[in-house]
Structure formats: structure tokens, C-alpha cells
Amino acid sequence: MRRPLESQVLLKDLLSDYYTKLARADVPVAWCTSVGPAELLRSFGFEVYFPENHGALIGARRQGAQYIPAAAGAGYSTDICSYLTADIGAFLSGETPLDMYGLKELPRPSVLVYNTSQCREVKEWFTFYGEKFGVPVIGIETPQNIDYPDQPLLDYLEACWRSIITQLETISGRPFDTEKFQQVTDLSGQACALWQAFLESNQSVPALHTFFDHIILMAPVVVLRGTQQAVDFYRSLTAEVSAIDGSRFREHKRFYWEGMPIWGKIKFLSTLFNRYNISIVSSTYCHSWAFDFRAAQALASSVSAYAGIFIIRSQEYKLNYLKDVCRRFNVDAVIFHDAKTCPYNTNSRFGMPAKLKAQTGLPVMTFYGDLVDLRHFSEEEFALRLEAFIEQIG
Amino acid sequence: LNKSDDPQFIGLDLGSSYIKAVVPGAANQPAATFLLRTGYSYSGALSEITAHFKHNGAIVGDNVQIGVTGYGRDQCDALVRKTEIFALAEGMKRSGIFDATLVDIGGQDSKVLKIRQGKLIDHALNRRCAAGTGSYLEFLSFRLNMDVTEMNRLAGMESDYHPLNSFCTVFAGTEILDCIKKQISLPKLIRGMYASVAERVREMTSLEAPVYLSGGVTAHHPQLLDVFKTILGVDAVQAPHPQYLAALGIALHAKEHYTHVIKGENI
């Protein structure tokens, strides 16, 4: 049986330091989307705060149903992203799960910077806070459904980035420091490469770790990429994983997880899959932060990396990606999470499961849930679906 | 006659609305069946079922082995415990049907099973919503103050139907109030309810022939078969023992498990 990785203890200290630093009034803070230009912001001397991480924390503490109605009452529909509604609802309620790190309220931003490379919701989300705090909201408008990021698209996006740089120079009162940006990008690149290597180590049979480890251990590559701490953390994780002897782990089947995590059901789901000796070996979600940054071409590689993420790619690209990753990780079946409030990170609504099944022969199962709003998820229903699926595939 | 030391088997389908129980007999047919409302205590229900079968002579002696399926399958001791999807597929296979699309419409969910060469190859469940399930028809029958036999009879008087637009059971109830005000004929209205159930099933997956219908809803509203044919264009037939199919399947599976695994016999 797998044991929790020791790195999870290190992670607690690391995140505690991160949030404590954000709470210091003397540090200028920029808010950024999780696949936004964090490296750029760090190069301008900002500490970076990620509202999506806050939404996930609310989800993990199962407080979504407590806060979402407050946002809905303020006009933010329960049908839109539940990260957004849970986060805005908590803000309107004057509460935050960051209180466990000593923060009584969210760190006050100097600027909010988004990238629509994941969804359009982030722009509306940041606009809400921009109006509340009276600070600028700037962003990169990345189009959706990209088959391949070609040169005209990259040229357009690079122009967006240069515009952001100009605006950040004004907001921060500092000139853009190319060398610093390269240093930060280099650190991001190192962390992402280590993260990718960690995820790929799960090609081993039996798997050394599971999706439920990944969604905990991904925190530094999201909130601390561009820092030495993230690099050190993933080096330590790599060392720990390389020492694991997985040969005696029991593994009946290997599954792939497509879609968002259900933050408030991590324990329930990991226990359930464990009961059947099923390893969820890999996921699209956790691979989304394995960016390919190169310090020597810091701007160009950043533009390209953020334009190439799975969520904004075409259906054809996504299908080919899934076929490749399922082969690479030697999976026996794929489960698709149809997240009620996240159409962008739900890939079961345009026939993808049926196509994947037809082209690979892999059994697929789609289930209904949500990332934060647990009213859309039923433990009983999921347990039945999974048990029947296992009975079906043997 | 059963020798007192031979085990006898009961298949239990612990559903959301009803508990269905079967004692299997010769040629994989039910020798006895029993139906009771799902109450608070599954173990109390099991005692009641056993007492009933002993009283009517379907069970003799105390060597009784249980196979259990349905939502309450974790709530009582049993020789075998499987999902109702597995049990339904077993029920079909042991009734001699090896290739089928089985639509099971139960109290709180609808399921579609695809069985090929006796093997379950795929299944689908409805979304987390009562629309299109037995609860939907129960709620609407309450609104109309009408029992299910009467609903079924009236639906058979019309070939046309009044479409109901609401996905939501509660809003469908409101829509029915509007239909009453507009004096939509009852047969058209009830047939519209059945059409709504059929349409929800069609949304779940493709329905390749031959299509069979099972479940309590099918058993008590056989006009649904006609609605599937006229509205969906699906030539569906009723599955064997529609309300007891899962209970029969799990009972026969328990019997086979006992013979092969417990006694180690090859038959």
C-alpha cells in the first residue's frame, strides 16, 4: 500500500511561508490567474497571489455551498465557475480559509493580471475585484480552440505581453528588467521540468503515486513557480520518489482522470479507488502546469507555453493528446469528469469519450460533479457508477 | 422438494422505492416473488421477506443464502453483493437473452445497459435528477390524484400526446396545472408524461435493437412500450419479469457462486 509522500509535510511549511509573506503589508502584491504571466509579475518585484488557489482551498474545506449563494445573490450565477462564485461569496461574507495561515482578509492587490488562456470567467472575476479595490485590471486575451499556435497567433500574443509589460512599468514605477525576467523564467522552467518528470515517473507499473497526491503536490508549481523554493521542493520530491520501491504496491487497474478535481471529495475518492486497487496514474489537469520555459528566449517561450496549454486547444489536438498519454501511461480506462460549472475543463460534451473509446478500445466512464459546488456530486451515485464500471471491465 | 440441508436462495433488489425479492425456481424462473416498500430498516425488511417466503412455503428450513443488489446492497449480510447493473445483465443472460439494449426505469434513476454475447459492454445512468424516473411519474400522479393503473389506461386511449417542456419534475407539475387550465385532454397529457420519460432515456445513449424495458415503471406503465415505438421509433419489448429482473439475476448469481465457489462443484 502506498504511504503519503513525506513531501506533503514540507509542502505545508512552504505554503505557510508563502501566505505569511503575502500578508505582510510592505510587499506589493499582484493577483494573477493560474496560467497567467506570473514570471513577468515576479520580475517586477510583486508577490503573486492566485484567486483560483483560493477557490480550490474553499472547495477542499467543503465551504462552497456556504459561500456560493452569497455570490449568486450579488448576481453571479451558480452556473458559472464555482471557483469564482465560492471566492466572491467568501469575500462578500468577509471570510477566507487563509485564516489558517493568519490572514484575516485577502492580500490587497496593486494590480490584477489575467490570461483568458483558460476561460473567459477569469476576466469577469478580476474585474469584480478591480472595482472593489480600485486598482487596474489588465490581461492577455488568448483565443480558444487553437489547433496549433501558429506564428500570426504568437505575434499577436507577444504584442499583448509587450503591452502588459508597458502597463506594469507604469503601475510598479520600475522599468522592465530583462535579466530578472530571464532569471525568474529560468526558475519557472526548472520547477516545471521537475514537475513534469515527477508526473512522468508514474509510467512505472505499479504506479508510485496517484492523481490524489498530484493535486496536493502541484501547489508550488502553481503559486510559487518562478521561485527557488519551488525548484528546491520538486528536487526534494524527485529524490523521495526515486527511492520508492513500488514493486509490492497492489494495482488492479490503471485509470486516467480527464477534467477537474473535486476538491471537497479527495479523501472519499482516494479511499474508494484504493478499495478496488485502482491507481489513477495521470491526468490532463496536473499536466497543465508542465510548461516548457526557456530562459534564453524568456518572452517568446512564455508566450508559446501559455498559448499551448491543453484547455484552449482544438478537439482534434485534445483527442490526439489523450490517445498519446493513455498509451504512454499504459492505462486500462479513462474517466471523464463532467464538471457542472467548468465547461472549459470538461471534455466530455462534444463526443470525446465515444471517439476515444472507438479509436483506442479503452473503456470510458463519464460522471457528473463539480470542482467546488458539491451539490452537483453524489457519493452514492459515483460509487455505483464506479463499481458497475469495474464489474463491466473486469 | 427441497432437502433441508440444501441451501435455498433469495435475490434481493434493495431499491429506492421498493424492495423486490425473488426465490428462484426451475429453469431460471422465479418460484416466488415479494414486493414491499423501502422503509427505514433494510434488516427489518429482510426478516419480513424471509418470514413471508417461509409462510407461503417458497423457503423451507433455515439454510438460506442471500444475493443482494440495489442501492441498499451494503446494508445487509449476503453471500454475494453486486450492483443492480450487474444483476440486470445477469437476469437477462439467465433468461436466455444475450444481445440486447436494456432500459431499466426505476424509482430514482434510469439505466441503459448494452449486452452483447451475454457480456455487459457498456452502461449509462441518468444525470442526478428525478426527471424521467419513477419519482417523476409518482409526483405527477399525485398532482393528478390518479393511480398508476388509471394513468396507463388513459395513455392507451390516445396516439397523440401533449409535449411537456420542463426537465424539472417540480416545474413539470406546474406545467401540468397550466395544461389543466387549458383543458388539454387527460390521455394526451399522460401520454406526454410518458413521452418525457422516453425522451430522457434517449438522451442517455443510443438505443440499438433489440431494446428491452425493465423496472417497476415499465411493469406498471406498459403503455411506455407503445410510446417508445410511436414517439422514439424504438420497437421495445418488455424484459422478462420486468420489476424482478435484477432480483432474479442476483439470486441466480448467488446460486451459481455457491455451487462453484463455496462447494467447488462444476455443473
Chain A residues lying within 8 Å of B86, measured CB to CB:
388, 391
Q: Per the domain annotation, does A156 fall within a domain?
A: yes
Residue A346 CB neighbour total at 10 angstroms: 22
**Predicted local confidence at residue A26, as pLDDT:** 84
B-proximal residues of A, 320-349, CB under 8 Å:
none
Amino acid sitting at position B44: G
Mark yes or no for CB contact B86/A388 under 8 Å: yes
> What pLDDT score was predicted for residue B261?
81
**Residue B4: pLDDT over 80:** no
**pLDDT of res. B108:** 82
Selecting from B83, B121, B128 the residue whose C-beta is nearest the C-beta of A387 gives: B83
B123 and A378 in contact by Cβ < 8 A?
no
Mutate to test the interface with A, among B73, B74, B122, B208 (most CBs of A within 10 A): B122
What pLDDT, on a 0 to 100 scale, did the predictor assign at position B21? 97
Residue A44 has pLDDT above 50, yes or no: yes
Domain-embedded: residue A264: no
Above pLDDT 90, what percent of chain B? 66
The C-alpha atoms of residue B14 and residue A269 are separated, in whole angstroms, by 24
Nearest-CB residue to B128 (from A368, A389, A391): A368
Write out the three cell numbers for A379: 457519493
Q: How close B233 comes to chain A (CA, Å)?
A: 23
Is residue A32 included in any domain, yes or no?
A: yes
pLDDT at site A202: 96
- Domain membership of residue A116 as a residue range: 22-175
Are A89 and A70 within 8 A, CB to CB? yes
As a whole number, the mean pLDDT across chain A is: 96
**Which candidate in A389, A391, A393 is best for mutational testing of the B interface (most B CBs within 10 A)?**
A391
Q: Do A388 and B83 touch (CB under 8 A)?
A: yes
A387 touches B: beta carbon within 8 Å:
yes
Instruction: Identify all chain A residues contacting B128, using CB atoms and an 8 Å cutoff.
Output: 368, 376-378, 381
**Best CA proximity match to A288, nearest among A116, A34, A18:** A34
pLDDT above 90: residue B42:
no
CATH code of the domain containing A124:
3.40.50.11890
Whether the CB of A393 is below 8 Å from some CB of chain B: the reply is no
Helix (H) or strand (E) holding B137: helix B134-144
Which candidate, B17, B19, B22, places its Cα nearest to that of B247?
B22
Q: Is A202 within a domain?
A: no
Inter-chain contact B83–A381, Cβ cutoff 8 Å? no
Cα distances from A341 to residues A85, A346, A373, B129, in angstroms, run 10, 9, 8, 16
Confidence of residue B169 (pLDDT cuts 50, 70, 90): confident
Q: A298-343, pLDDT tens digit by residue?
A: 999 999 999 999 999 999 999 999 999 999 999 999 999 999 999 9
Domain presence at residue A237: no
Q: Which of B71, B86, B128 sits opposite A391 (nearest CB)?
A: B86
Residue A121 counted as domain residue = yes
Dist CA A225 CA A220 (whole Å): 6
Distance from CA of B10 to the nearest CA of A (A): 21
Tell me the HSE value of B9 on the side-chain side, using a 13 A CA sphere.
Answer: 25
Chain B residues closer than 8 Å to A378 by CB: 128
Beta-bridged to residue B33, according to DSSP, are B22
What's the pLDDT score for residue A186? 98
Q: Which candidate, B251, B9, B221, places its Cα nearest to that of B103?
A: B221
If one counts the domains in chain A, the total is 1
Give the pLDDT of residue A251: 95
Q: Is A9 on the interface with B (CB under 8 A)?
A: no
Tell me the nearest-neighbour CA distance from B78 into chain A, angstroms: 17
Q: Residue B166: pLDDT above 80?
A: no
Give the pLDDT mean for A156-166. 97
Query: Best of B128, B133, B203, B205 to disrupt the A interface by mutation (most A CBs within 10 Å)?
Result: B128
Q: A361 at the B interface (CB within 8 A)?
A: no
Question: Any idea what DSSP says for residue B239?
Answer: P
Residue A68 predicted with pLDDT over 80? yes
Given a cut of 50, is residue A191 above it in pLDDT? yes
Please report residues of B whose CB lies closer than 8 A to that of A381.
109, 125, 128
Instruction: Please give the ipTM for the structure prediction.
Output: 0.84
Q: Taking residues A199-216, what's their average pLDDT?
A: 96
Region A193-218 average pLDDT? 96
Confidence of residue B266 (pLDDT cuts 50, 70, 90): low
**Is residue A195 domain-resident?**
no
pLDDT at B107 over 60: yes
Distance between CA atoms of residues B70 and B19, nearest Å: 9
Q: From CA A109, how far away is CA A93, in angstroms rounded? A: 19
Cα atoms in the Cβ-side hemisphere of radius 13 Å centred on A133: 21
Question: Three cell numbers at A5?
Answer: 509522500
By CA distance, what is B206's nearest residue in A? Answer: A354
Count of CB atoms situated within 10 Å of the CB of A155: 10
| Range scoring the smallest mean pLDDT among A236-245, B125-134, B202-211 | B125-134
| Residue B262 predicted with pLDDT over 90 | no
> What does the pLDDT average to over B88-116?
95
With CA atoms as reference, the chain B residue closest to A357 would be: B122
B1 confidence band (pLDDT: 50, 70, 90):
very low
Pairing mode, if any, of strands B110-116 and B100-105? antiparallel
Residue A388 and residue B71: Cβ atoms within 8 Å? no
Q: In which band, very low, low, confident or very high, does the pLDDT at B3 lie, cut at 50, 70 and 90? A: low
Q: Using beta carbons and an 8 Å cutoff, which residues of B are at the interface with A?
A: 71, 82-86, 109, 120-123, 125, 127-128
C-alpha cell at A321: 493528446
Mean local confidence (pLDDT), B201-223? 93
Quote the CA–CA distance of B82 and B254 in Å, as a whole number. Answer: 10
Q: Is residue A270 part of a domain?
A: no
Predicted confidence (pLDDT) per residue in B173-199, tens digit? 888 889 988 999 999 999 999 999 999
pLDDT at B2 over 60: no
Contact at 8 Å (CB) between B138 and B16? no
Can you give the pLDDT at residue B61? 86
Q: Does A228 touch chain B (CB under 8 A)?
A: no
Residues present in chain B in total: 267
Mean model confidence pLDDT for chain B: 90
Please compute the mean of the pLDDT values over residues A342-366 and round it to a whole number.
97
Q: In this complex, do B128 and A378 lie within 8 Å of one another by their Cβ atoms?
A: yes
**Residue B190: CB partners within 8 Å, gap ≥ 6?**
B144, B151, B154, B155
The tens digit of pLDDT for each residue in A254-296 reads: 999 999 999 999 999 999 999 999 999 999 999 999 999 999 9
CB A203 within 8 A of CB A328: yes
pLDDT tens for A95-107 read 999 998 888 899 9
Residue B70 has pLDDT above 70, yes or no: yes
Please state the three-class secondary structure of chain A as a single string.
Answer: CCCCCCHHHHHHHHHHHHHHHHHCCCCCEEEECCCCCHHHHHHCCCEEECHHHHHHHHHHCCCHHHHHHHHHHCCCCCCCCHHHHHHHHHHHHCCCHHHHHCCCCCCCCCEEEEECCCCCHHHHHHHHHHHHHCCCEEEECCCCCECCCCHHHHHHHHHHHHHHHHHHHHHHCCCCCHHHHHHHHHHHHHHHHHHHHHHHHHHCCCCCCCHHHHHHHCHHHHHCCCCHHHHHHHHHHHHHHHCCCCCCCCCCEEEEEECCCCHHHHHHHHHHHHHCCEEEEEEHHHHCCCCCCCHHHHHHHHHHHHHCCHHHECHHHHHHHHHHHHHHCCCCEEEEEEECCCCCCCCCCCCHHHHHHHHHCCCEEEEEECCCCHHHCCHHHHHHHHHHHHHHHC
